[in-house]
Structure 1
């Protein structure tokens, strides 16, 4: 069973979606939401290293940072396996995109880095997703800059998630 709460981004000063999915071994969980302003980033880059995209989906978000502080992006199937393994999910789409459908277990929230810091540890393994993969990449970069170490971006975002027919829900 999944639960949820919300946040707002200090970077974009706009509302967003931040979901944290329930870990199977926990009795309760909190899902949070936040939103980032869209900007002109190019298409998401898929970065692979020994800690992500491994055979059997034994990926770990720890160490998924290139020396420049760029987050690792993984395909949605890998992200889904990470969620099943207990990683948390951070959705940075607009409220309208979120209302149209979202990964199971999320609700809306009004703040970002400050609130994320209150709800997540700096070493928590967090998967960041948006509609197409651009905003989540920006959010993941901001989280890395804020000292979070277990950040993984979803390449292709929610659009790729639904195309792959992974679990979703509607409000």
Structure 2
């Protein structure tokens, strides 16, 4: 399996959910990062062996705000050369998170297009709650 590094500079690569599932099942992807809020994650998430829930944005009374610790948290679990797939609810937050990761030197990062909604729509397997994953609590 080739590299996820199909981009030039900080241009994010977007995979469809079927391609993402193949990379996860093949063991090529080292870590799957779900950047949704903890509440969204607990309602259901992609079934993957190595999954992290590190929110890219938080709900606040003022609206959604970017997690200022996002890069630090990802870096504490992942190396810059690790193959990573990033996902959110619909693919928007994860696209921004993927671009940030690439700008900070991560080399093999891809956004999962359509996010959890597309994965669930295709019936590709979901998990509920926090079992078999590392979920960072805030």
Paired position in structure 2 for 1:96: 39
Q: Name the structure, 1 or 2, with higher relative contact order (CA <8 Å, separation 6+).
A: 2
Runs of 4+ aligned residues of structure 1 deviating over 4 Å after TM superposition are 105-111
Give the distance between the partners of 1:64 and 1:157, measured in 2 at CA: 19
Deviation at residue 64 of structure 1 after TM alignment? 2.2
**Uncovered stretches (5+) of structure 2, i.e. residues with no partner:** 56-68, 130-138
Give the distance between the partners of 1:116 and 1:94, measured in 2 at CA: 15
User: Is 1:64–2:6 an aligned residue pair?
Assistant: yes
Deviation at residue 107 of structure 1 after TM alignment? 6.3
The structure that is helix-richer by fraction is 2
Matched residue SS, 1:70: coil
TM-score, normalised to structure 2, is 0.73
Q: 1:156 to 1:109 in 2, by over 3 A?
A: closer
The structure that is strand-richer by fraction is 2
Q: 1:77 to 1:94 in 2, by over 3 A?
A: same
Paired position in structure 2 for 1:137: 95
User: Is 1:114–2:57 an aligned residue pair?
Assistant: no
CA-to-partner distance for each residue in 1:49-105, whole Å, 9 max, x for gaps? xxxxxxxxx4531x221x341111010000001111220210011222111101135
TM-score, normalised to structure 1, is 0.60
CA contact (8 A) 1:136 1:153 kept: yes
Q: Aligned pair count?
A: 112
CA contact (8 A) 1:64 1:151 kept: no
Give the distance between the partners of 1:120 and 1:90, measured in 2 at CA: 10
Give the counterpart of 2:114 among 133, 152, 156.
Answer: 156
**Uncovered stretches (5+) of structure 1, i.e. residues with no partner:** 1-57
CA-to-partner distance for each residue in 1:22-43, whole Å, 9 max, x for gaps? xxxxxxxxxxxxxxxxxxxxxx
